[in-house]
């Protein structure tokens, strides 16, 4: 019994060392496992480093030319979201500036603006902004809404004071309910804090799948499985799967220190817990991806075929994992398909632990799903690799 255990451990260790050498000797694998796994998150991080848009140039078309309309224009320019880039004389002129790309919004103050306010009628301000660019639209609309609300408050309170109300009474009557807004988990309301953590999880999965595909494609192109000179006796399928998956997990536990620690803190994302508290969940995630990659890669005879198939999966995974669209809003069948990929449970688990500060109890469901995925892909990897080795008549040779 002890001799059998020792022999199995030696074989696993031998295959582990051989796969490590293969990973570092193959230029494509080095490019994916190390360069791409670090460069992709870096590019995404740099791209979203200015995650909130400020001082968006807008045009104010003032057809009223009164003290109140000028005050509205000054208040709009004072907001952090927009700046008054120009004051054209007509809406037609502002439209030309908009289509030339010189401004990203137009605020139209009608000719009866001050007169309507003094008469107690409802004055209208029209805001034109590019709804095709969501964040530009959001900032312009937010600025206009804020200024309108402030001006409404000023007019209402002045009217109460003119009617004999005291300042405190006027303030209380106008603001019977005082809301206090607290932005949880994304204090800056920035796009980077929203999108990049999910992108990091996808990059880890896809780069690992591509790297595994390249390595197994190399083995199949040579039609031999490289072990090592320290392997003794018969090499079992189970030993191959365990040893190779341990290599991939070990390598990515190192690269994720760069992506999920250095880059994460560089962008100052919300961090409610230590990264090392997420390590057990990350190990589970990486094993599930490794077994999945082996299950897929063994069926392709060439490196290019495996690479093309896994790259083909990338847009699908981006849509299904909950980054581009909430998984709760997906149709039932599509949502079930999304659970074929480890990113689907890992992404919400990562957000709950890292950004929301939840404990392991808050991710029990995600951990259960990852365990099921890992076990399922492990069995599938054993079956697939065994069938592929028989089909290709693999030779287990020393390195």
The predicted pLDDT at position 140 comes to 86
Report the distance separating Cα 9 and Cα 157, nearest Å: 81
> Of the residues 174, 198, 217, which one is the last residue of a structural domain?
174
Quick one: 215 and 281 in the same domain?
yes
The predicted pLDDT at position 289 comes to 93
Hey, what long-range contacts does 257-260 have (CB within 8 A, 24 or more apart)? 258/38, 258/41, 259/37, 259/38, 259/41, 259/200, 259/203, 259/204, 260/200
Name the β-bridge partners of 367.
none
The predicted pLDDT at position 176 comes to 52
Name the β-bridge partners of 61.
108
For the chain, the domain total comes to 2
The predicted pLDDT at position 17 comes to 83
Mean pLDDT by 10 residues, the chain (399 residues): 69 80 82 81 72 83 86 87 88 87 87 78 80 79 81 62 56 57 71 78 88 80 56 68 90 86 77 79 93 85 76 80 78 87 90 82 90 94 81 53
The predicted pLDDT at position 171 comes to 54
Quick one: 162 and 197 in the same domain?
no
pTM exceeds cut of 0.75? yes
Closest alpha carbon to 58 in 84, 29, 19, 30: 84
The predicted pLDDT at position 342 comes to 92
The predicted pLDDT at position 371 comes to 93
Domain membership flag for residue 88: yes
> Of the residues 112, 139, 174, which one is the last residue of a structural domain?
174
Asked if residue 235 lies in contact with residue 11, where contact means CB atoms within 8 angstroms, the answer is: yes
Cα-to-chain-centroid distance, residue 394:
40
The predicted pLDDT at position 397 comes to 47
Quick one: 92 and 215 in the same domain?
no
Which residue segment(s) compose the domain that 109 sits in? 56-174
Quick one: 338 and 245 in the same domain?
yes
């Amino acid at each position: 019994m002890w001799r059998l255990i020792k022999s199995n451990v030696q074989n696993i260790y031998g295959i582990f060392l051989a796969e490590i050498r293969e990973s570092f000797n193959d230029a494509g694998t080095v490019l994916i496992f190390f360069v791409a796994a670090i460069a992709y998150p870096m590019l995404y991080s740099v791209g979203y480093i200015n995650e909130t848009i400020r001082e968006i140039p807008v045009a104010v078309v003032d057809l009223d030319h009164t003290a109140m309309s000028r005050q509205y224009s000054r208040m709009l320019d004072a907001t952090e979201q927009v700046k008054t880039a120009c004051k054209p004389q007509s809406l037609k002129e502002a439209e030309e500036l908009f289509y030339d790309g010189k401004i990203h919004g137009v605020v139209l103050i009608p000719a009866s603006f001050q007169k309507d306010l003094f008469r107690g009628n409802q004055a209208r301000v029209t805001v034109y902004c590019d709804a095709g660019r969501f964040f530009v639209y959001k900032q312009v609309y937010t600025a206009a809404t804020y200024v309108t609300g402030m001006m409404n408050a000023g007019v209402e309170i002045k009217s109460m004071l003119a009617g004999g109300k005291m300042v405190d009474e006027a303030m209380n009557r106008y603001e019977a309910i005082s809301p206090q807004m607290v932005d949880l988990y994304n204090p800056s309301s920035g796009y980077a804090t929203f999108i990049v953590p999910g992108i990091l999880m996808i990059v880890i999965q896809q780069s690992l799948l591509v790297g595994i595909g390249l390595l197994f494609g190399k083995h199949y192109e040579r039609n031999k499985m490289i072990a090592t000179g320290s392997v003794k006796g018969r090499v079992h399928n189970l030993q191959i799967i365990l040893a190779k998956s341990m290599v991939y997990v070990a390598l990515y536990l190192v690269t994720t220190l760069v992506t999920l620690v250095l880059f994460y803190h560089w962008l100052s994302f919300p961090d409610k817990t230590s990264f090392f508290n997420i390590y057990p969940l990350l190990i589970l995630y990486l094993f599930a991806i490794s077994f999945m990659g082996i299950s897929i890669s063994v069926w392709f005879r060439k490196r290019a075929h495996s690479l093309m198939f896994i790259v083909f999966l990338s847009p699908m995974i981006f849509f299904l994992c909950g980054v581009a669209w909430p998984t709760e809003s997906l149709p039932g069948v599509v949502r079930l398909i999304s659970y074929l990929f480890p990113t689907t449970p890992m992404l919400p688990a990562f957000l709950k632990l890292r950004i929301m500060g939840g404990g392991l109890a808050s991710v029990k469901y995600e951990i259960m799903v990852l365990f099921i995925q890992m076990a399922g892909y492990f069995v599938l990897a054993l079956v697939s690799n065994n069938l592929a080795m028989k089909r290709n008549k693999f030779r287990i040779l020393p390195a």
